[in-house]
């Protein structure tokens, strides 16, 4: 898909909205799969280096950014199909249908920024949350351990779900509207 969309855009002055979204979506998923493979290989073959340095933190930030970017691009593809195929007569849909080609680059840029913003909390908390999940008991000569929960873990889960919820809502709403229009 990436090769076909890219080859159809080579030599054109303007790219169709579908091709821009498909190039972004397929390249983000290709990079995500490559990154996951590299990440998995490094965690096996370079385990000491992977967990001692900040490599784990950087790896999780990049993985989160690529995952969220993929979700956003998939949601924009769903919105594009809804706008192109649906036959609503509301003024907003007519306005959107006429201007979707000019809005797609801004939608893609916004999704990159949102993905980057959603990945930032993992730079602060991802490693520290997993690093000190257990603490020694206050009793002396005791091998028992108690688990401690950092308050930032709840915030990290909340921010992670917030990064996923907006593309999910866009995708579900546009799919429902498309099905309703086709019905």
Judge if pTM exceeds 0.85: no
C-beta of residue 92 within 8 angstroms of C-beta of residue 122: no
150 three-class SS: coil
Residue 124 to residue 158: CA distance in whole angstroms: 14
Which of 68, 71, 170 is closest to 122 using CA atoms? 68
C-beta of residue 83 within 8 angstroms of C-beta of residue 176: no
Going residue by residue through the chain, which has 183 residues, state the pLDDT in tens, using 9 for 90 and above.
888 888 888 888 788 888 889 999 999 999 999 999 988 888 888 777 777 667 777 888 889 899 999 999 999 999 999 998 888 888 888 888 889 889 999 999 999 998 988 888 777 654 454 444 454 555 555 555 545 555 567 777 777 787 788 999 999 999 999 999 888
CA 158 to chain centre: 15
Helix or strand run (H / E) with residue 136: strand 134-136
pLDDT digits (tens, 9 = 90+) for 47-63: 777 776 677 778 888 89
Helix or strand run (H / E) with residue 32: helix 17-45
Helix or strand run (H / E) with residue 145: strand 145-147
Which of 117, 115, 122 is closest to 152 using CA atoms? 122
> What pairs with residue 147 in β-bridges?
134
């Amino acid at each position: 898909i990436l090769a076909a969309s890219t080859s159809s855009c080579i030599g054109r002055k303007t790219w169709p909205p579908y091709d821009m979204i498909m190039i972004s979506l397929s390249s983000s998923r290709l990079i995500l799969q490559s990154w996951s493979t590299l990440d998995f290989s490094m965690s096996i073959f370079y385990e000491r280096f992977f967990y001692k340095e900040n490599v784990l933190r950087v790896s999780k930030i990049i993985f989160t950014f690529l995952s969220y970017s993929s979700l956003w691009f998939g949601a924009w593809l769903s919105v594009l199909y809804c706008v192109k195929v649906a036959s609503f007569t509301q003024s907003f849909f007519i306005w959107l249908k006429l201007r979707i080609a000019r809005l797609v680059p801004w939608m893609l840029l916004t999704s990159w920024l949102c993905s980057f913003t959603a990945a930032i909390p993992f730079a602060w908390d991802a490693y520290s949350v997993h690093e000190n999940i257990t603490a020694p008991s206050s009793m002396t000569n005791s091998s028992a351990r108690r688990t401690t929960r950092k308050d930032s873990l709840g915030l990290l889960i909340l921010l992670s779900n917030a990064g996923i919820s907006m593309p999910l809502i866009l995708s579900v709403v546009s799919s429902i509207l498309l099905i309703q229009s086709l019905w």
